[in-house]
A and B are shown apart, each in its own frame.
Chain A
Amino acid sequence: MSVKSIREALNEAMRDEMRRDPTVIIMGEDVAGGMGAGGEQDAWGGVMGVTKGLMPEFGRERVLDTPISESAFIGAAAGAAMTGLRPIAQLMFVDFFGVCGDQIINQLAKFRYMFGGKAKTPCVIRTLYGAGTRAASQHSQCVYPVFTHFPGLKVVIPSSAYEAKGLMTQAIRDDDPVIFFEHKAMFDETGEVPDEPYTIPFGVANLTREGKDVTVVAIGRMVGFANQAADALAKEGIECTVIDPRTTSPLDSETIIASVRKTGRLVVVDEASPRCGLASDISAIIAEDAFDALKAPIKRVTPPHSPVPFSPVLEDAYVPSVADIQESVRSVMGSGASARVLEGAD
C-alpha cells in the first residue's frame, strides 16, 4: 500500500497487465510521443502523461503512437480484439467519439450478439471526460450516458486512485469491450493504492459513507463533491449515504434500491447533460422499483441543458457544485418533512 495519484494508479495497472499478458497492447495519439521525431522519445506518455514509461519498457511494437485517424485505430483495436489481442486504445478526449462512433457503437459493441455469441472482443477504450479545465465545448463533455445506452459496451467511471487501478485491471482482463472514463481534472488526486495487482468487479457499487436520511448517488468526479456536501450536511444534522456506482453498465441498481428503501430519499448527481443522462436513468429505476419507499420527490443535480462554455465564470456556474448538492439534499429533506405532515393529517 502506498499513496499514489490516479495517473500513477492507471499507469501501474496497465504496466502490470502488460507484464503479465503479452497480448495486451496500447495504441493512440502520442501515447508514447516523439514518433518519427529527432528529439526525446516517450516525450508525452499521452496528453496527460498516464502511459509514460510504458514504451521504454515494452517497445514501440506494444505501445503504438498512431496517426490522427480515430476511425482507423479505434476500429483496428476492435478488430485486433476480435482476433487475439487485448488492445487498450486511447480516444484522447471522449468528445472525439464523433469521428469514430461507428467503430465503437456499430462494430465493437455488437460483434458478440450479432455473431451469435461467437466473438470475444476484449478491448479497453480509455478516454478523457468532464468539464472544469476551461477546455470549452468540444473538449469537456461527459458522453458516458451515450455509451451506457448501447448494449454490448461496459462503462467504467472511477472516482479515486484505488478505484482507478482496480477497475483498470478488471477492464483489461475483462473479455467484453469496456469504455473507461478518466476525468481530466482528477489525475493528480491521490489515495492509498495497493502495490500488487487487484481487480474491482464491475456492477458493484461502493458506499463511500452511510447515513439514514438521504441516498446520494454520484458519478465519477461528482463522488468527491457529494462526499464534501455530505460532510457539510452532517454538521446540520442531515446524514447522507453516498453511493458511487463505479460502473454505469452494468449498473448496481440493487444497492441503490436497497439504500433508498432505507432512507426514502434520492438525490442523483451527474456531470453529464440533464436530458437522457445517468441521473434520469437512475431516477427512473427508483421511480419504477422503489416508488413506495419515497418520502420526497427525487432530485437530479446536473448542469443546465447547454454546451460547456469556455469562460471560467460561466464554466464554474455550469458544473454542479458542492453547494448545489447541499441545496438539493436540503430540499428533499424539506419536502420529506412536509410529506410526513401530510401523512400525519391523514
Chain B
Amino acid sequence: MSKDNEPLLALEKITKRYRNIVAVNRINLEVFPGEKLVIIGPSGSGKSTLLRSINLLEEIDEGVIRFEGREVGYTTKNGRRHHDTPSAICALRAEIGMVFQHFHLFPHMTALGNVMEGPLTVQRKPSEEARRIAAGMLEKVGLSDKMDVFPATLSGGQKQRVAIARALAMHPRIMLFDEPTSALDPELVGEVFETIHKLADEGMTMVIVTHHMGFARELADRVIFMESGSFLAEGTPVELFGANQTNERIRSFLNRLI
C-alpha cells in the first residue's frame, strides 16, 4: 500500500485537443488513496474527456499520467513521446474501473456473464473462480436474484449496478464514474447512489462526474469545478457549495441546477 501522502493517480499538465477545440487544457490533478473526488461543470467542459484520458481510452496530446508513481500510457525518451505497448495499456485499464453513463453492458451475456467476463478473459481465472467472484459482486450490488437474466430485461438502475459489479470484479485500485445516474429515471437514481456510497464506505478511491449536487455534497472529500477544459475552482463541498461562494460563474451554475 502506498503511503497517504503519495498520490495513487497524478496528472501533470495533460492536454487533449479535438481538431480546433481544447477539451482538456493543461490539467494538474492528484488523487490520493481512499479519496472521493467529485468533478462538476457545465456540459462540454471536458469532464468525460478527462476521465477517459485517465484510463487511456483517449490519447492525450501532452502531459504525464502517473499511476502509483509510475508513468503510464507513454514513455518520454529524449523529449519524444512513445506509446506504451498494448499489453501495458490493457494492464493499466484492468486496474482502473470505469462506469459509463449509458452502462454499456454486453447484451449477449447474462448479468453474471457480464461480471465474469473480466476475471475470465482478462485475468484468465478458471471459470469456477470467476463465477464465484462475479456472484459475490452481484450480491454486493444487491442483484443476486438477477444473475441469469440478460440486460434487456433489467431496469436502468439494475443495469448500472451490474455495470458497477462488472468493474469491481477486476478488483480495481480506483473507480471512475462518468455521470452514472444521468441516463436513469429519477426514482432509480437512489439505488445506484446507495451502491456507490457503500463502495465509498469500504474505502474505494473514486473520481465521480455528476450533476447531482446533493450526492456530491454527501460523498465528496473534494469537489472540482471544471469549465472549458480547465479547473476553475477546487475545495471541500462546504467551500464550493457554501453560501460564501464568491465566484459568480459557479454560483450561477449551481443555482441553475437547483
Bound together: no
- Please report A residues at the B interface, Cβ cutoff 8 Å: none
- Please report B residues at the A interface, Cβ cutoff 8 Å: none
